[in-house]
Amino acid sequence: MPAGGAGAVCGVVLAAGAGRRYGMPKILAHEGKWLTTSVDALRDGGCDEVVVAMGASVVEPPVNTSMLYVDDWAAGLSASVRAATHRVAAEPDFVGMVLHVVDTPDVGPEVTRRVIGAAGRRRDAVARAVFDGRPGHPVYIGADHFAALRTHLRGDSGAGRYLAAVPGLRSVECGDLATGRDRDLPE
């Protein structure tokens, strides 16, 4: 539990996919460096616990993280987000979660810190990083939103559909900190 009585936040790295366009699971990209970078962005950015959603490829989770195995990972990103909501909801100390993807390697802890700060570690808050106005990750979702979020999850769309519809979403400009560019294809 964080100091000062603030609620705990769980960081979740979404890394269960097969990475078809990339040519391999992105959790393996750059010899696992992307995974380490994503975990560090969450942990050093203020998350009290970090879990890594895995599926197509299972690797040893980085130190001080745990694995969340997503049985139905092939159904798309929605399966990982759904599994994350259940995992985080099972711990009553968590007031929310921060979703991050493994394939935005230039996003660092300062971005996560800014998003969590905008959300205020509140159960009813929703906040997402934007980069020069373009929506990206990480995304903070307060625990009060988990049930409604699950009703919007389909295929490979993740939380995007819910975030587009939820009132009170805070867009947190982070273009001064990173590009937030998603790496879907090998360079």
Look at the pTM and tell me if it is higher than 0.85: yes
CB-CB contact of 45 with 116 (8 Å): yes
pLDDT at residue 185 above 70? no
What does CATH list as the number for 7-173? Answer: 3.90.550.10
Distance, CA of 17 to CA of 56 (rounded, Å) = 6
Model pLDDT for residues 137-173, shown as the tens digit of each residue: 999 999 999 999 999 998 887 898 999 999 999 999 9
Return the residue matching tokens 């939103």.
145
Higher model confidence: residue 5 or residue 15?
15
What DSSP state is assigned to residue 99?
E
Model pLDDT for residues 110-135, shown as the tens digit of each residue: 999 999 999 999 999 999 999 999 99
Q: In the prediction, which pLDDT does 182 show?
A: 82
Model pLDDT for residues 31-90, shown as the tens digit of each residue: 878 899 999 999 999 999 999 999 888 888 888 999 999 999 989 899 999 999 999 999
**Hey, where are the domains in the chain?**
7-173
Q: How confident is the model at residue 4 (pLDDT cuts 50, 70, 90)?
A: very low
Query: Does residue 54 sit in helix, strand or coil?
Result: strand
Model pLDDT for residues 73-99, shown as the tens digit of each residue: 989 899 999 999 999 999 999 999 999
Other Cβ atoms less than 10 A from the Cβ of 160: the count is 17
Higher model confidence: residue 95 or residue 23?
95
134-142 and 94-101 strand pairing: antiparallel
Q: In the prediction, which pLDDT does 24 show?
A: 67
